Copies of this chain bind each other. A is one copy, B any other.
Amino acid sequence: MSQAFYQNYKLGILGGGQLGKMLIQSAMDYNVDISILDPDANAPCKNIAAEFNIGKLTDFDTVYEFGKECDLVTIEIENVNTQALKKLREEGVKVFPQPEVIELIQDKRLQKQFYKENDIPTSPFILTDTKEDVLSNADFLPAVNKLGKEGYDGRGVQIIRTESDLSKAFEAPSLLEKLVDFETEISVIVARSEKGEVRTFPSVELSYHPVHNLVEFLFAPSTISEEIEKKAQDLAIDVITKLDMVGLLAVEMFVTKSGEVLVNEVAPRPHNSGHQTIEANFTSQYEQHLRAILDMPLGDTQALIPSIMVNLLGEDGYQGLAEYEGLDEVLSISGVNVHLYGKKITKPFRKMGHVTLVGHDTATLKENARFVKENLKIVSK
């Protein structure tokens, strides 16, 4: 690592949301000055970054002018202008993850084709360009119809179980993926540094909200067998290596009833499925991302203690200045770690924070996680 790093080293992050915020919390331990670019003047990072710039992440000039002042640029969201990142790289600014990786992941169609071409197990799929294309593949159902671009947090995804659901199909370039009858959904976060060191975190198990397609609980460790764990770990390493990527990659996977492990989607940045590593692992995903992109040795990923992460979503039916109900009750529980993201405005199902519960007894942990879910509410008066 360059010795210059410690004086006036500037790391630019595209995006100033909660992931950027937690990345700053971690970067504070390494003297790195952080410069943020975000379109929202009230983004969570607004008060804690050395520099906070307001601007569009998809605009070439905005991203280029921002990046020119940085030694290294990284992302906390994929929807950014990669042309500007390529130009910055040509001009000597380090960019991790690489712009080509971001482009591949921005488009779920390219992502799926990459898996296919590189022998990475994934569910069968068909590329569709119109609603008509979907309709003509009724024999492929039950399936999931996903927009190629700009799907996010449950948007741009439709489950098409039977022909009666076909009216929901997207009239745009999409994927039609065979619905996987999975046993468990897991995530493995893997990091790779510039000098090629690779380390995976233990897998975690995701539990989705039945309606809103957002992670509601996350369990670490997952309950999968050692054999499946090994498969999942190897698969995560395989994906990041084949992507030739530097940085942190969250690999979401399905474990099927027959014990297959299939890659669902990946994200080349700190991820919702790694929040619990802040308290529950030797190294957090945020520090690991920094270590990877700053070419430091990667950290030990072992868990210290079992954990459950609960996403705090804006309560349905409330929109406006955020208020928090039940916080004192929740803070009275041992092992509760509350993270409020500092978003001014709450909206139904908006990610407003998360709680990580740690503890040695799994039954108590589950009971406490349920209590948090039921008692901590984000509302507006």
Residue positions of A touching B, CB distance < 8 A: 1, 3, 6-7, 21, 24-25, 28-31, 33-34, 47-50, 282, 291, 296-297, 299-300, 302, 304-305, 321-324, 327-328, 331-332, 334-342, 344, 358
Contact B328 A29 (CB under 8 A): no
Question: Could you say which of B50, B291, B328 contacts A331, with CB atoms under 8 Å apart?
Answer: B291
Nearest neighbor of A26 in chain B, beta-carbon distance: B25
With A282-B358, A340-B29 as contacts: A323 and B3 at CB distance below 8 Å:
yes
Contact B47 A50 (CB under 8 A): yes
Q: Which residues of B contact A340 (CB under 8 A)?
A: 6, 29-31
Contact A331 B48 (CB under 8 A): no
CB A11 to nearest CB in B, in angstroms, measures 12
Interface centre among A6, A34, A338 (most CB of B within 10 A): A6
Q: Which residues of B contact A34 (CB under 8 A)?
A: 47
Q: Which residues of B contact A321 (CB under 8 A)?
A: 7
C-alpha spacing A25/B3, complex, angstroms: 25
Question: Could you say which of B6, B300, B338, B358 contacts A335, with CB atoms under 8 Å apart?
Answer: B300
Beyond known contacts A299-B334, A302-B334, A304-B305: 18 more, CB 8 A cutoff = A6-B322, A6-B340, A7-B323, A24-B48, A28-B342, A29-B338, A31-B340, A31-B341, A31-B342, A47-B50, A48-B48, A48-B50, A282-B334, A282-B358, A296-B331, A297-B328, A299-B336, A300-B335
CB A198 to nearest CB in B, in angstroms, measures 15
C-alpha spacing A321/B7, complex, angstroms: 8
Contact A300 B6 (CB under 8 A): no
Contact B33 A47 (CB under 8 A): yes
Nearest neighbor of A45 in chain B, beta-carbon distance: B28
Contact B31 A1 (CB under 8 A): no
Contact B7 A344 (CB under 8 A): yes
Q: Which residues of B contact A48 (CB under 8 A)?
A: 24, 28, 48, 50
